[in-house]
Structure 1
């Protein structure tokens, strides 16, 4: 157990029953470099030892056999007590993972409903009064990522088009300049955000100067 603690360092991302899709994404990224994700995803077992194995082959085989218990321990460490009680009697990491996925992500019907809900929320989103570009785009990206976590392809181009089409009129001159100078298909979200942040900052400074006058 001490060796496992050394390997996983500060520990896995914690899951309290909320934002399952984000946790699952982070947990997979956590298990992958530890060489443990395969036994969770595929329930894989090491091949049997050959006849008259060498000491090195025995060592490698024993290490491979420990991957499932290690993966199970990682998942146990990752969940809060309220979630742990639901998986306490499950002995294999893939079964635990599938149980959590079914309970917190839902079956295909539930996923389909959630996808429609998030897609409609995304389509109807508008920038609120007094909201900054950064705050608005953060809300958009949050919903877009929820759609992606449910397994639906959702390109950056869709997000960029939504931003350009839904910003208030005061951004119209900047949007026109961006559309005239850059092909939206080659425009990255980070570059768009940088341009809009700079424009918003200039607007803020100009408004402050007008107030002084």
Structure 2
């Protein structure tokens, strides 16, 4: 309150709240460690999992560090559940995984997820009428 000008107040606030470089580096290292430890839960959708990874990547980027799309792709390839193994194998056989785009990988995983959901709906729909007929 003893500061008279807007510039003096701004300079004070800037100095007071500016992050120390060491603190910023530690936050970044913690976020990258957290990113590497992420695993997709069996009950989680590809969209939910990728949003979780993007959230961490965006926090790293806000700290003026780079977390490239290729690192996100690598993380996705090794942390998705076994149910996506067929899609990953197909991509390995048809594409160079070191050059696959993040969007292409997410689209392939979401496509498999949707196909699986449609098949499960079809199985459930096919089973219910059969039970109804027998009753």
Q: Bigger relative contact order, structure 1 or 2, given CA contacts below 8 A and separation 6+?
A: 2
- Identify unmatched segments of 5+ residues in structure 1: 1-84
Structure 1 length as normaliser, TM-score?
Answer: 0.52
1:161 matched to 2:77: no
- Identify unmatched segments of 5+ residues in structure 2: 128-135
Give RMSD over aligned pairs. Answer: 2.5
Partner of 2:14: 99
State the alpha-carbon separation in 2 of the partners of residues 108 and 168 from structure 1.
37
Partner of 1:180: 93
Contact kept in structure 1, 2:46 and 2:109, CA below 8 Å:
yes
Contact kept in structure 2, 1:147 and 1:154, CA below 8 Å:
yes
4+ runs deviating over 6 angstroms: none
Change (3 A) 1:131 1:91: same
State the alpha-carbon separation in 2 of the partners of residues 201 and 184 from structure 1.
22
Contact kept in structure 2, 1:122 and 1:143, CA below 8 Å:
yes
Aligned residues: 123
Higher helix share: 2
Aligned match for 2:111, one of 198, 203, 209: 198
Q: What is the CA-CA distance between 1:90 and the residue it aligns to?
A: 3.5
Three-state SS of the structure 2 residue aligned to 1:187 is coil
Structure 2 length as normaliser, TM-score?
Answer: 0.79
Partner of 1:143: 56
